[in-house]
């Protein structure tokens, strides 16, 4: 599913193309702009996979806008839309994916989207691993050893799955550490035997799926070769590190971070060794959301700031500091009824769970505008 923008100063053309794209089943999000300046600013803060650009527009035409967009992200696919076929040669000189004549048809748009899928598929395939591991919101493994399908991989037993999950999370671990964590109640001899046999069954399951395990087993330690797999945890941590290094890109990166964090690490697995790790990741995710929210507030985008603040409250509904920011933002937007509902919700939860009332700072904000009655 792709994220698309449409930029065209003709409102009827925008509505028609928007409808076609949304009905195609291949577009996850579609934002339309009559003003190319607004489209550019949106693309600075949000990831875009494909851009449908009218060529003839005042101030910034489609050609100029295409250059600006690819300066932001050279992977953005460009499709030019115009009523004049005389622009075709010029369009393809800037490496356009396709060129559509108005009025566009669903069949012609479908052809362009098929091209986009093939091009993005080739790019993804060049870097994709045959083994995909999902650790957020549970534990799933998928393989496409022959490159033609994405099939779930089942491991022999719960302990086999736990060992592999442990190795993926730790990346490198000594044999003693693994035994102390997973087989602490066994004699040393039996524990070592269990470790070796469990490793064997992991390798066998992946070999049966025509996938290399990426497990490198030495005399004293065992490690996972990260490049041999595609893991949501690894990508999540990489993006958080990138946000810290390049805070100006936080609004682009945070959306992908949100997609990856589908739920707590290894949710439902009851692995004691993972509890502290899961709490740390949730804390780092909340910090990233808060940073993005404050960044939006500084830019005057209070609605988007609310979106990120609410994401934090989904993790911890009793974060009074975040509830305070949500209430203040609602009041700033003139949505006082929603500010009151947020306050009442916090008030009820605190009373039921802790026997407390909202802190004085929140009460003072509500009282200052007469919303506590």
Interval 345-357: pLDDT, tens: 999 999 999 999 9
State how far the Cα of 206 lies from the Cα of 155, in Å rounded to an integer.
Answer: 9
State how far the Cα of 182 lies from the Cα of 165, in Å rounded to an integer.
Answer: 11
State how far the Cα of 236 lies from the Cα of 316, in Å rounded to an integer.
Answer: 20
User: H/E element holding 367?
Assistant: helix 360-368
- pLDDT for 304 equals 93
Region of poorest pLDDT, from 26-35, 57-66, 80-89, 188-197: 80-89
Residue 201: half-sphere exposure toward Cβ, Cα within 13 Å: 16
DSSP string across 46-104: S--SEEEEES--SSS-HHHHHHHHHHH-TT-EEEEEES-GGGHHHHHHTT-SEEEESSP
- Please, where are the H alpha helices in 128-264? 158-170, 175-182, 188-208, 232-245, 250-260
- For residues 68-82, give the mean pLDDT: 88
Mean pLDDT, the chain, whole residue set: 88
pLDDT band at 20 (very low <50, low <70, confident <90, very high): very high
Cα angle: 3, vertex 4, 6; to 5 degrees:
165
Region of poorest pLDDT, from 58-67, 187-196, 303-312: 58-67
pLDDT band at 88 (very low <50, low <70, confident <90, very high): very low
- pLDDT over threshold 50, residue 312: yes
Position with higher pLDDT, 96 vs 159: 159
| N-term to C-term CA, the chain | 47
Percent of the chain exceeding pLDDT 90 equals 61
- For residues 19-28, give the mean pLDDT: 88
pLDDT digits (tens, 9 = 90+) for 104-114: 999 999 999 98
**Within its chain, how far is the Cα of 118 from the centroid?**
22
Structural domains in the chain, CATH included, are: 2-127 (3.40.50.2300), 129-278 (1.10.10.10)
Position with higher pLDDT, 140 vs 150: 140
Task: Report residue 129: phi and psi, to 5°.
Answer: -95, 155
State how far the Cα of 20 lies from the Cα of 109, in Å rounded to an integer.
Answer: 8
pLDDT band at 128 (very low <50, low <70, confident <90, very high): very low
- pLDDT for 123 equals 42
pLDDT digits (tens, 9 = 90+) for 295-311: 999 999 999 999 999 99
Please state whether the predicted TM-score (pTM) of the whole model is above 0.75.
no
How many DSSP H helices and E strands does the chain contain? 15, 12
């Amino acid at each position: 599913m792709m994220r698309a923008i449409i930029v065209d100063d003709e409102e009827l053309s925008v509505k028609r193309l928007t409808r076609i794209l949304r009905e195609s089943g291949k577009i996850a999000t579609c934002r339309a702009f009559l003003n190319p300046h607004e489209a550019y600013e949106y693309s600075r803060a949000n990831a875009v996979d494909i851009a449908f650009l009218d060529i003839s527009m005042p101030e910034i035409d489609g050609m100029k806008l295409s250059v600006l967009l690819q300066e932001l992200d050279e992977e953005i696919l460009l499709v030019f839309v115009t009523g004049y076929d005389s622009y075709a040669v010029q369009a393809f000189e800037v490496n356009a994916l396709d060129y559509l004549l108005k009025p566009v048809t669903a069949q012609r748009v479908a052809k362009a989207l098929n091209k986009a899928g093939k091009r993005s598929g080739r790019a993804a395939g060049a870097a994709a691993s045959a083994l995909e591991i999902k650790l957020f919101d549970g534990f799933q493994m998928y393989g496409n050893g022959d490159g033609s399908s994405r099939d779930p991989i089942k491991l022999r037993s719960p302990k086999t799955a736990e060992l592999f999950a442990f190795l993926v999370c730790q990346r490198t671990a000594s044999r003693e550490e693994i035994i102390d964590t997973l087989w602490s109640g066994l004699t040393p001899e039996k524990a070592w035997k269990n470790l070796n046999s469990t490793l064997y069954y992991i390798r066998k399951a992946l070999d049966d799926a025509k996938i290399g395990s990426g497990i490198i087993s030495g005399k004293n330690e065992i490690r996972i070769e990260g490049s041999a797999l595609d893991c949501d945890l690894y990508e999540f941590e990489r993006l958080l590190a990138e946000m810290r290094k390049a805070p100006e890109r936080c609004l682009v990166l945070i959306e992908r971070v949100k997609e990856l964090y589908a739920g707590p690490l290894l949710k439902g697995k009851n692995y004691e060794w993972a509890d502290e790790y899961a709490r740390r990741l949730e804390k780092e995710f909340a910090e990233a959301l808060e940073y993005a929210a404050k960044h939006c507030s500084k830019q005057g985008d209070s609605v988007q700031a609310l979106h990120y603040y609410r994401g934090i409250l989904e993790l911890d509904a009793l974060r009074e500091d975040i509830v305070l920011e949500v209430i203040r933002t609602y009041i700033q937007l003139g949505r006082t009824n929603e500010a009151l509902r947020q306050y009442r919700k916090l008030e009820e939860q605190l009373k039921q769970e802790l026997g407390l009332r909202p802190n004085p700072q929140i009460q003072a904000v509500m009282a200052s505008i007469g919303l506590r009655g």
